[in-house]
Each structure stands twice: as C-alpha cells, then as structure tokens.
Structure 1
C-alpha cells in the first residue's frame, strides 16, 4: 500500500480503502446503540464508531479510522 499513515492525505486514502472493502452496520441491542465497524487495512483490527443520524456513514467511518490510525494502529505515525 502506498498510502502513508503519517500524512493526512494518506490517512484519508487508507480510510477510503477500508470502506471500499466493506463495513458492518450492527443494530442496537441490550442497551447499546447502533454501531458501525470497519477493518483497518494496515493492522486488521476492527474499528468501531457509534451511529449518528446527522452524519453520513462514510463521514463517521473516516473519522473513526483517522482516530484509530493516529492513536491505536500498530502501523500508524505514533509507532
């Protein structure tokens, strides 16, 4: 993958690639709200975010992936 997780442009490309391979829309159950999940293409960890009706799926998933890459991903810029 040529996308560089240390740059903003690279992280946006990684998020688009993750969405292109599919995402999960989990219904609400047992007191938990609805969730959206996508797999990180770099570390294969599943990234989750809460569903908000005021935002699009792609916007929510992109923010979640950007946060994951900046703080949690083993291949992210913090490593």
Structure 2
C-alpha cells in the first residue's frame, strides 16, 4: 500500500469503494451477539458511501454494528480461501 493510500485511510471522507480498490477487507461485528460479516465495498449500494459513521444492522439480532478494517486481508486471498472451503 502506498504512503498516499495510508494517509487517505484516516480521512472522514474515505468511501467503501476506495477501501475496496485498496483491496482491504471490511468487517462488521455485532456488539450484542458477536456475529461477524464481511462487506464488499464494490457493491453499488456501498461504493460511494462514507465509512465514517456507517452503521449496519445485524441479521441475527437486529443490533447496530460498526465497520472496521479488521485484519486488513486482501479480498483475493479471502475469496480463494472461501472457494477452497466450498470444495
């Protein structure tokens, strides 16, 4: 990741699409039940949405979860791992 990209990650104007272009994994964790979900920042509904202040509803219990960068794994590596598990 370039120095400019690292600086941009700290701005309140950073969008989900920009994180996806940097191939960073975005994870939402429910503070109530602990359910975790990966978010694809390339989806049309999220691409231009700002990360700062974004909230998501847990599909299990309905609580509000906040996105985080988690372990900053690459999407390609995550998809490959998922494909291996499907076999």
> Which band: TM-score by shorter chain?
0.3 to 0.5
The answer to which structure, 1 or 2, has the higher relative contact order (CA under 8 A, 6+ apart) is 2
Query: Structure 1 or 2: larger helix share?
Result: 1
| Structure having the higher Rg | 2
